[in-house]
Amino acid sequence: MTEDTMTEDTMTETALPSPGATERTTVRRIPEKAVNDRSTGYAILDAGFVAHVSVVDDTGQPYVVPVGYARDGDRVLFHGSTGSRLFRGLAEGQPMCLTVTLLDGMVLARSTFESSMNYRGVMVLGSAMVLEGDDKDTALEVITEHLLPGRWSEARHPNKKELAATLVLALDLTELSVKLSEGPPEDEEQDDIARPIWAGVVPLVETFGAPVSAPDLVEQYPVPEYVLSWRRPDPGR
């Protein structure tokens, strides 16, 4: 699901604490960019495809791993290999951090110091739990339908061997922070005068390109309508 298809009745009604309400998730650097409503955080998660999961192994070495994911109500679902040492640690309940960032534009100020980016970001802290049986199957469908809407009903589902090789994890969205940066550059007054150059925002927009058929197709199957309908969210939200 993307932001432009999301309606109010798809947003989860929750009694969980507001983003940034805990000591660990309070935004201290530029706190005016913090957002304290869950609907904004959930919309960011629904618009993204890739999350970065950080974890520390048993030697104390930190790692950051990119994962495909999907939001399912008040939790995030993602999966990895049962052969992965890092994912086995997550499955055992090791503390973790998950982040999603959407880059909306480059902000060109009159000074390099004030130049920046417009973005939307979510950070989640907690420990993941392993999903098994029907919960695991359902989670894989949710992830697939978030990343590839319409594909689950047409493609082959995982077989027993593939399921055995896959860890499916759920991370509750209990403790999260949301940060948003938008708008034009904020120049210092002296730069407005001393630097008579263009300043502004260059929007950054992700789009789906034209589908390219697999070279081993034995027939000229048409591209599915559900694929042709895929759209990236408008960065203007």
Task: Report the C-alpha gap between 55 and 96 in whole angstroms.
Answer: 5
Is residue 45 within 8 A of residue 71, CB to CB? The reply is: yes
Over residues 46-100, the pLDDT tens digits come to: 999 999 999 998 888 999 999 999 999 999 999 999 999 999 999 999 999 999 9
CATH fold for the domain made of 3-188: Pnp Oxidase; Chain A (2.30.110)
pLDDT band at 144 (very low <50, low <70, confident <90, very high): very high
Helices vs strands, H then E, count in the chain: 6, 10
Is residue 38 within 8 A of residue 111, CB to CB? The reply is: no
This prediction's pTM: 0.88
pLDDT at 189: 75
User: Average of pLDDT values for 155-169?
Assistant: 97
pLDDT at 147: 97
Higher-confidence position of 189 and 237? 189
Task: Report the C-alpha gap between 93 and 55 in whole angstroms.
Answer: 11
Over residues 30-58, the pLDDT tens digits come to: 788 878 999 999 999 999 999 999 999 88
| Longest CA pairwise span in the chain (Å) | 68
CA dihedral 19, 22, 28, 31 (to 10 degrees): 30
Residue 133 region by backbone torsions, left for phi larger than 0, else alpha for psi between -120 and 50, else beta: left
Alpha helices in 58-217 (DSSP H): 85-91, 133-147, 160-164, 189-194
Q: Where are the beta strands (DSSP E) in 151-215?
A: 166-172, 175-181, 200-203
Task: Report the C-alpha gap between 126 and 129 in whole angstroms.
Answer: 10
Asked if residue 29 has pLDDT above 90, the reply is no
